[in-house]
Structure 1
């Protein structure tokens, strides 16, 4: 596969295209969220019980009743314990395991373009074969860097920007991680404003459903993938 850049796209076109893919696949957006949150919260409750964190809730409540500073001190104290750190690693592991779900939505969007029949199994395309380990490996790498950059908000945002196309490049063009990052940086240099605006809109819309109507959040949460696919399809053209 070879990637090249077409004429510069308009932001309005990219946004309309993203909302088209999202609206066309609402039932799969809902399924994505149900699977994601069911697995995530089941894992969270299980490991919280496994590492004895539920017993700490009463201590947190008592500390909060005293003062905010006492509550923050208690939180910091808990964060230093081995059990809390193990819990954190377990949640990260769960997030890594769930990451390939995003690739399933890319598969569904591509099938729309090709006028092919969409099946429920497409949602789990990222779990097929040995490629699953490739996507999990990338997810681990991405989270490790993100955790290092999050204290400096600017670097965290920059990391998101320079990796926004890595997943579709790996999935559709079979690019390696660093090759995909290099292509991503090239695209970012040329389409910085378009990518920035679309990322802001995607993040805002992704969580707005939870603030207005909680159930609505189940539909808006996966919107990020529709925006990434719209950007990817518009900026990169693929030829065999």
Structure 2
């Protein structure tokens, strides 16, 4: 399968296309969010109770009442405890496990293009077969790289836009992690403005539902996947 770059698309076309796919799959967006947050918060509360996080939070609250200095001291002490580190690793493991859930939308959006019947099970396409471990491996690499550069903010944004095409390339073409990232970077150099603007719009819209409509966030939270697919479909043309 070859990847070729067409003429540069307009940003308005990419955005309209993303909103089209999102609007066509609102039920699946809702199901995705319910599953995602149900698993995440179940794991969060279980781990918080198991490792005494609630008690640690009370300890921090008491320290904050004393002084900022005491509060910062307590944060450093709590962060160094084995229980807090185990809690953190547990949350990271949960996020890693949930990542392939996003890839199900790539199958759903492709089925829409092919006019095939959608099924609820399509959401779990990222968990099918041995490719599950490939996606997990990619996200572990992606996440730990992101955490390393997150404090700089700018580098974190750069990492996001550099890897924006990696997931669909892996899903549709079977590329490995590093080959997919390399191709993603190559495409970014040609479509930098389009990718940057679309990433900013996707990030804003993803969370605006929670800020303005609360439960509406369950519909907007997965919007990121529609934007990635719209970018991928526009930038890459796949021909056997």
- Shorter chain as normaliser: what TM range? over 0.9
Shift of residue 69 of structure 1? 4.0
Alignment-derived partner of residue 15 in structure 1: 15
Number of corresponding residues: 240
Alignment-derived partner of residue 130 in structure 2: 130
Q: What are the within-5 Å matches in structure 2 for residues 179-190 of structure 1?
A: 179-190=179-190
Q: What are the within-5 Å matches in structure 2 for residues 175-214 of structure 1?
A: 175-214=175-214
Shift of residue 74 of structure 1? 2.1
Shift of residue 70 of structure 1? 3.2
SS at match of 2:144: helix
Alignment-derived partner of residue 229 in structure 1: 229
The TM-score, its normalising length taken from structure 2, stands at 0.97
Unpaired segments ≥5 residues, structure 2: none
For the pair 1:73 / 2:73, whether they are aligned, the reply is yes
SS at match of 2:8: coil
Q: What are the within-5 Å matches in structure 2 for residues 1-240 of structure 1?
A: 1-240=1-240
Matches of 2:71 and 2:107, distance apart in 1 = 45
Q: Which moved more, 1:77-86 or 1:37-46?
A: 77-86
SS at match of 1:216: helix
SS at match of 2:151: coil
Matches of 1:216 and 1:159, distance apart in 2 = 28
The TM-score, its normalising length taken from structure 1, stands at 0.97
Matches of 1:69 and 1:113, distance apart in 2 = 58
SS at match of 1:129: coil
Matches of 1:58 and 1:102, distance apart in 2 = 35
SS at match of 1:3: strand
Q: Deviations over 1:50-85 (max 9, x none)?
A: 112122222122123234443333223211111111
Matches of 1:198 and 1:41, distance apart in 2 = 29
Matches of 1:227 and 1:167, distance apart in 2 = 12
SS at match of 1:213: helix
Let me know the Cα RMSD of the aligned residues.
1.0
Matches of 1:141 and 1:37, distance apart in 2 = 23
Unpaired segments ≥5 residues, structure 1: none
Matches of 1:214 and 1:71, distance apart in 2 = 31
